[in-house]
A = this chain, B = another copy of it.
Amino acid sequence: MSVSINHPGEGVALRVHGLSKCFAGATHPVWSDVSFDIPQGQRVAIIGGNGAGKSTLLRCCMRLIEPDTGEVYFGNHNISGLRGQALSRVRSRVGFIFQKHNLVNRLSVLTNVLHGGMAWARTPRMWFQGIAACEHREYALHCLEQVKLAHLSKQLAGELSGGQSQRVAIARALMQKPDMIFADEPVASLDPQAGEDVMQVFSNLAHTQSLTLVFVTHHLEHAVRYADRVLGLQNFGLSLDAASHSLSASQLRGMYD
């Protein structure tokens, strides 16, 4: 297939085309031939049962895992062909919130958040909060404030509670000033209030800065409320792709039977 065909048009933030992945030694593929386009500024929820491959899909899009086949475009960049600096540059535009948070336990919360700044400032001063520029440290603290964790900025990341460390991971993604956010169950460990707050922050960014948001969730209410569109993974493929206003939470429950 030639690139010109797949090349996404104006305003398409993410195009996934014919993506398949099968882990070594597995009998089934996780999913195969997954394709979708996401316009800029759209908020997309990905839902699906445990092990349906939601996390794997996000990872494959960023090429943290190599997909077996298929192509992924961020804007005009076909990420499959990129290496080194060019790959980093594309990735830096996407804030990725991992299901397992993936903080550096032995560093402080503020330093962990600051690391997000490496997306836009490739200076060694981003490495540790002790040597960072004042405005960067302040911005990191501002990101922490958005997840209501500013008072723990000095604590070691390894000494946080589950929800607190998830919030730090979110703050780190905000620190990236991203054009797009990939969030893998970003509110799974958050208390109900914090969960709403975080989804609200994301939605605001989507509205005001036309941030593209792709989030995985098991909260069907969140999917319906905070997404414009819902993608469902089931039976080794994409089984649902619909606008969220056409759906209700109880309808979506059918996905899991």
CA distance A160 to B159 in the complex (A): 25
| Interface residue? A48 (CB, 8 A) | yes
B162-A99 in contact (CB<8A)? yes
| Interface residue? A185 (CB, 8 A) | yes
- Nearest Cβ in chain B — how far from A233, in angstroms? 11
User: Which among A1-9, A70-78, A188-196, A204-212 touches the partner chain?
Assistant: A188-196
A48-B191 in contact (CB<8A)? yes
| Interface residue? A89 (CB, 8 A) | no
User: Which among A12-20, A49-57, A133-141, A172-180 touches the partner chain?
Assistant: A49-57
Interface residues on A, range: 20 to 34
| Interface residue? A164 (CB, 8 A) | yes
* Closest residue of B by beta carbon distance from A188: B188
Selected from B23, B194, B256, the residue in CB contact (under 8 A) with A49 is: B194
B193-A100 in contact (CB<8A)? no
| Interface residue? A43 (CB, 8 A) | no
CA distance A99 to B188 in the complex (A): 11
* A–B pairs, 24, beta carbons within 8 Å: A23-B159, A49-B163, A50-B162, A50-B163, A50-B164, A50-B194, A51-B160, A51-B163, A51-B164, A99-B189, A100-B162, A162-B188, A163-B218, A188-B188, A188-B189, A190-B218, A191-B218, A191-B256, A192-B218, A192-B256, A193-B253, A193-B256, A193-B257, A195-B218
